[in-house]
Structure 1
Amino acid sequence: MKSRAWLALLPLIPGAAMAQGSITLYGVVDAGIEYLSHVPNATGGSNSTVRMSAGNLSTSRFGLRGTQDLGNGLKGVFVLENGFDLDTGKVNQGGRLFGRQAFAGLQARYGTLTLGRQQTLMYDLSSAFDPMVISTRYSLLMHDKWMSGRADNAIKFTGTTGGVYYGLFYSTGYDSTAGGEIAGASKAGREWSASLGYANGPLSTRVAYDEVRGSTVTLQDNRERRAAVAAAYAFSSVKVLAGYRYYRGDFTTSSLRTNLYWAGVQYQATPAISLTGAAYYTDVRNSSADPLSFVLSGTYALSKRTDLYTILAYAKNRDGSAMGLSGFGPSLNANATTLVNTTEQVGAGQSQVGAIVGMRHRF
């Protein structure tokens, strides 16, 4: 009885109140059927294919998100998020249990400081200003996979004051499976970035810079730099988005420069129907091999958590470019001198058509 009485009095004692907290289980499951033309085959040619494709608009995932009130406006926060393929059950992000995100930190009035495996600031810009919201299929990621980059061993600070957004990011080893955090080689695996934005009413804009080094002692002087600027303007039911990304890769024996442009429109036709159209173009410096892609998508909401969708895409390759709809990008560790497809590369100059119908459920 006495212990219960003391417990009842604790909230009345300054500094003795029990901290309030919450933990949320959340996730997305997404899968569909995809048609894809000009898929490379074993004989060196190509054929069309129909297959199940997972994580089309949103990568399938589940996670835990928690907060705890520490008093005086300070909160403890954490996120553990796993990504997987719904069609096979395989774990994504190189087999990491919580490969999408795994971090803990503190949240205060002027921002949030977190440590762990985290989304880069370039990822944050892309998710806010890509018309396709960097969906796994047929989005900005077709032209540069790094626009949805994540980094191990990362310290991240982001905040918003008034309409001003700001962010700083530093990783001592962005990919622990490749290297980094090597004694006497402080540049190996290092990544750092900064971002600044502004939002006021229907207008929002943001800039970001990201720099990454090779992961080993041999490759630590290899350097990739990206700078991006993007903006969006929302009307009553229409949102217009556009952006530009500059890329410069300086490798041991080569270099690469590209400019990536994108623009698109999101339209909420009815409370249940939303439509998106987007175009993406990569200009490879000192080359006419410049790929172009177009995307149309539509979703129909069966409920607040479940929707049906369709996506149509066309990748146009010119003068020897070979971008497939599964995406391409320069490889830092391979000393790439041309844009290399990271998954399914079509024949040089060959275009590709893709179409998906699918379903997505959030919980």
Structure 2
Amino acid sequence: MKKALIAMTAAAAASAASGVASAQSTSNVTLYGIVDAGVEVISNVPGSGGAEGTAVRLNSGNLSGSRWGLRGTEDLGGGLKGIFVLESGFDVDTGTSGQGNRLFGRQAYVGLQGGWGAVTLGRQQNALYDLFGAFDPMGVGPRYSLNSVDSAFNGRADNAVKYTGKFGGLTATGFYSFGRDNTEIPGETKVGRNFGGGLSYAAGGFSVGAAYDQFQGGTVALQDRAAKRAAVGAAYAFGGAKVFAGYRWLRDDGVSSATAATTRSNVYWAGAQYRFTPAFQLTGAAYYNDTRNSDADPWMFVLSADYSLSKRTDVYLNVGYSKNKSGSALGLNGVGTVVAGENQTGATIGLRHRF
């Protein structure tokens, strides 16, 4: 009896080990990341006590946000996969975590993927972020880009359920967040609610896309106020050149505070890239923010030169100018990063490495 029991136990252990080995052989986990840092010289930077002046500083994340991450897939059979992403943003200049000091502030989700698309759960990018990197000449980078004009193009939401599908040249995405900034309040389902979606299509050198994003105020007092955005963009590549154009509509009913007024604005942008050699590319872009019922309508102009030292490492020079009027405060690093009403000139020389 003892011998039979031992034999059965050994067989069960061997079977379990075989199952684990089989599962491991169909799983894949990848470590990846980007490290981007540069030295910037920039004018009219606000300081403490009302001071202002030219700053010379080291910045993390110029063309791309610095990050490291883990992504994994497991083949579950029948065309179904389990997937996950854990992506951590950080500042190279200080070594600290980004996105409000979150460990995985860029993305953190788990889901299932099949021929029908993917459904994922966790902290995730909104539809503007998913689609509009393809329609901004500067790729919606952290600085000197469309993200400087409207940070919602780098938007993310906690507590989100998301669908993503790719069918040939068509990409579709939609998401719903129960609490955009971890603001879930029992019995108050509108507080911090965020939802949106979008479609893009690419064929040959032409691509076009549209997206919508809406979020409610983050307190009970503000939950009936909403910030609504809609955007369309297009790009066309021919030879060594690529041209871009886009438009974003905004209606913000004052989600930031009880005293905030409704804001309406339209953002327009256009630009072009040209690859002179396989290693060298030049990009130019212009952005205009038209605020309704106001003369505070700033412009931002950017010129970027990028040279690839290898497939993973490149050096770049970004030069920018923001023109403000009537108290607008659009800076090259975002709204409020320049003294209100003042123009700003800046330049960054940097190094980026992907792994």
User: Given the superposition, is the C-alpha separation of residues 3 and 197 from structure 1 closer, same or farther in structure 2, using an over 3 Å criterion?
Assistant: same
Partner residue of 1:333? Answer: none
Task: Say whether the 8 Å CA contact 1:126–1:148 is kept in structure 2.
Answer: no
Task: Say whether the 8 Å CA contact 1:244–1:259 is kept in structure 2.
Answer: yes
Q: Of residues 295, 298, 305 in structure 1, which corresponds to 2:305?
A: 298
The one-letter code matched in structure 2 to 1:353 is T
Give the drift of 1:125. Answer: 2.1
Task: Say whether the 8 Å CA contact 2:131–2:200 is kept in structure 1.
Answer: no
Give the drift of 1:34. Answer: 0.3
Give the drift of 1:320. Answer: 2.3
Partner residue of 1:193? Answer: 196
Does the alignment pair 1:273 with 2:266?
A: no
Give the drift of 1:323. Answer: 1.5
Give the drift of 1:3. Answer: 5.3
Q: How many angstroms apart in 2 are the aligned matches of 1:96 and 1:230?
A: 31
Partner residue of 2:221? Answer: 218
Q: CA RMSD in A?
A: 2.1
Q: How many angstroms apart in 1 are the aligned matches of 2:301 and 2:192?
A: 34
Q: Write out aligned runs for 1:1-363 (5 A).
A: 18=23, 20-176=26-182, 179=183, 181-251=184-254, 254-328=261-335, 341=336, 344-348=337-341, 350-363=342-355
1:20-50 Cα distance to aligned partner (Å, 9 max, x none):
1100001111111100011123352421121
Task: Say whether the 8 Å CA contact 2:338–2:344 is kept in structure 1.
Answer: no
User: Given the superposition, is the C-alpha separation of residues 215 and 28 from structure 1 closer, same or farther in structure 2, using an over 3 Å criterion?
Assistant: same
Task: Say whether the 8 Å CA contact 1:104–1:114 is kept in structure 2.
Answer: yes
Show structure 1 runs of 5+ residues with no match: 329-340
SS in 1 for 2:132: helix
User: Given the superposition, is the C-alpha separation of residues 17 and 91 from structure 1 closer, same or farther in structure 2, using an over 3 Å criterion?
Assistant: closer
SS in 2 for 1:185: coil
The one-letter code matched in structure 1 to 2:195 is W
Name which of structure 1's ranges 32-41 and 317-326 shifts more when overlaid on structure 2. Answer: 317-326
Give the drift of 1:183. Answer: 1.6
The one-letter code matched in structure 2 to 1:168 is G
Q: How many angstroms apart in 1 are the aligned matches of 2:170 and 2:38?
A: 39
Larger helix percent: 2
Percent identical residues = 55
Task: Say whether the 8 Å CA contact 2:45–2:55 is kept in structure 1.
Answer: yes
1:311-355 Cα distance to aligned partner (Å, 9 max, x none):
000000122212122212xxxxxxxxxxxx2xx23132x100010
1:216-258 Cα distance to aligned partner (Å, 9 max, x none):
1111011000000011111121111111000001135521100
Task: Say whether the 8 Å CA contact 2:31–2:71 is kept in structure 1.
Answer: yes
